[in-house]
Amino acid sequence: MVDSPHSGLRHTESLPLAAEPSALLTGWDAYVDELFAHTPEVGGALLSAAFPRWLVDANRARDDIDPELVDGELPYPIHPSDKARRGMGVLRRFALPGVPVYSGKLPPELVERLLATYYDPYHAALAGLIEARHARFGAVWHIDCHSMKSRGNAMNIDNGAIRPDFVIGNRDGKSCSADFVAVVVDALRGLGYEVGVNAPYKGAQLVAAYSDPARGRHSLQVEINRVLYLDEARFAKHEGFATLQAHLSQVLEQVAGSAMEIDNGERSTVGALPPDDPRRGNRHPRTRGSWQAHNRCHRARGRDQQGAGDAPVPYEGGRGGGTAGASGRVLRQVREGLLCRCRCRESRGSTVGTDPGVSRIRLPSTIAGLCHPGLHCREPRAAVRSQGEDGREGGAHQGRG
C-alpha cells in the first residue's frame, strides 16, 4: 500500500491568502505520486491526494490545530503539537518562516468544513484500503511517500543541514518491523543512494495511525530529496526524474517480493547490519560507484539545476480560490494492481466509490484475484484503471500543470 498525501494542487475554496504562490509551493511534494506510478504493476495500491498540503495536511492529527490560526473556539478540544506551534499543523499558518499563509484568522466553521471536506475522506479511503488488504492477506506493508527540500530551513529541526538522498522513518522502530526497513534501505543503497534512517524525519500521523506491527500492519515513511529529480527553484522536473522513477519501480518490486517471502515464511530475517554501515545494501557493486557519482552530481547542482518541463501553478483559479476539475469536488486517485496471478482477456468493469468527495474507480472483474465466471485467464496480474467524476479516465489529475 503506497500513499502520497502532499502531491495535490487542486481545491475549490475562496480564502484570504497572504502568501505568494511560490511560497505555497514549497510544501508541495511535487510529482511524488508520479514517481510511484508503477505501484499497481507490482500488486500494490496507490492513493494520492489532489488537494494541496498548505490547505489541509493529511499527515497530521485532526486536532493538531494552531490556536493562533482560529478566530474563536472549536466545538472540540485541540492538541497542538510542536509542528503546529511552528506553523505546520493540520492547517498551515506559515508557508515559509515568517511568511503567513493567510491574511487573518479562520472562523471555526471554516476550519471544520475544510477538515470534513478534505482530511476525513482521505483518511477514510486509506483506512479502507489498508483494512481490506489486512483482512485478505493478514499483513500490510504501507509506504507513506514524501519529498523534502535539499536543506532544512528554520521551520525544520535540521535548519541549514544538507540532507541525504532518502530518509526512511519508522518512528524509531515503533511503526514497522526491522525487516521492512532493511528491505527498503538495502534496495536504495544497492542503487547507490545515500539513505538516512529516522533523522530528520521519523514518520508522522499517517505512519503512526495505521501501524501495528504486532498485528502485521507495517508502515514506514519515505522522504525523497527533491534535488534528485526537481529544479527546486522552478518546481520543474529535470533529467533525473526518469532515472529516479525507474529506480523506485525496482525498489517497489523488491518490497513486493520480500513481502511475499516473509508472508510465506520463506525468510525469517532481512539484513541485520546497522543503518549507517556502508556495506549494507551493496548488492550491485559494479553499478554502485557510478550511481553514487550521478547522485552526488545532482546534490551539488542543487538549486542551480535547470531542467526540462514547465513549472506548475500552486492552485488553479488565482489567489481567490481554485477549481478541482469538472467535478468541482475533492478528487483522489486510487490505482490498484491486485495480487492475483491472472488477468482476464475479457473484463466487465464495475464502478465503485460513490462518495462525492472521491473519484470513482473502475475495477476489472478480477477483484480480489477471483476471475468472473466464464472468463478465460492466462496472463499474470490484473490491471485497474481510475476514472474521474467527469467520466474521463485519470480524472483525478486531469489539467495539472
- 94: nearest Cα among 53, 54, 52, 57: 54
Q: Which amino acid is at 238?
A: H
pLDDT tens per residue across span 88-146: 999 999 999 999 999 999 999 999 999 999 999 999 999 999 999 999 999 999 999 99
- Listed in sequence order, the residues at least 6 apart from 113 whose beta carbon sits closer than 8 Å to its beta carbon are none
pLDDT in the model for residue 71: 97
pLDDT in the model for residue 303: 38
pLDDT in the model for residue 361: 28
For residue 223, give the C-alpha cell: 522522504
pLDDT in the model for residue 158: 65
pLDDT tens per residue across span 325-356: 322 333 344 544 433 222 222 222 232 333 33
Nearest-angstrom CA–CA distance, 44 and 3: 10
- Listed in sequence order, the residues at least 6 apart from 6 whose beta carbon sits closer than 8 Å to its beta carbon are 27, 28, 29, 32, 49, 53, 57, 58, 59, 146, 147
pLDDT in the model for residue 290: 38
Nearest-angstrom CA–CA distance, 219 and 146: 14
| Total count of residues recorded for the chain | 401
pLDDT in the model for residue 293: 44
> Kind and range of the H or E element at 334?
strand 332-336
Strand 217-225 relative to strand 140-148, pairing:
parallel
SS3 223: strand
- 335: nearest Cα among 359, 315, 357, 301: 359
pLDDT in the model for residue 259: 74
pLDDT in the model for residue 157: 62
pLDDT in the model for residue 261: 64
- 315: nearest Cα among 16, 53, 59, 100: 53
Domains by residue range for the chain, with CATH: 2-57+121-304 (3.40.630.40), 332-397 (no CATH)
pLDDT in the model for residue 201: 83
One digit per residue, pLDDT tens: the chain, 401 residues? 999 999 999 998 999 999 999 999 999 999 999 999 999 999 999 999 999 999 999 999 999 999 999 999 999 999 999 999 999 999 999 999 999 999 999 999 999 999 999 999 999 999 999 999 999 999 999 999 999 998 866 666 666 778 899 999 999 999 999 999 999 999 999 999 999 999 888 889 999 999 999 999 999 999 999 999 999 999 999 999 999 999 999 999 999 988 766 554 433 222 222 333 333 333 333 333 434 444 444 444 443 443 444 445 443 333 333 333 322 333 344 544 433 222 222 222 232 333 333 332 222 222 223 222 222 222 223 323 333 333 333 333 322 33
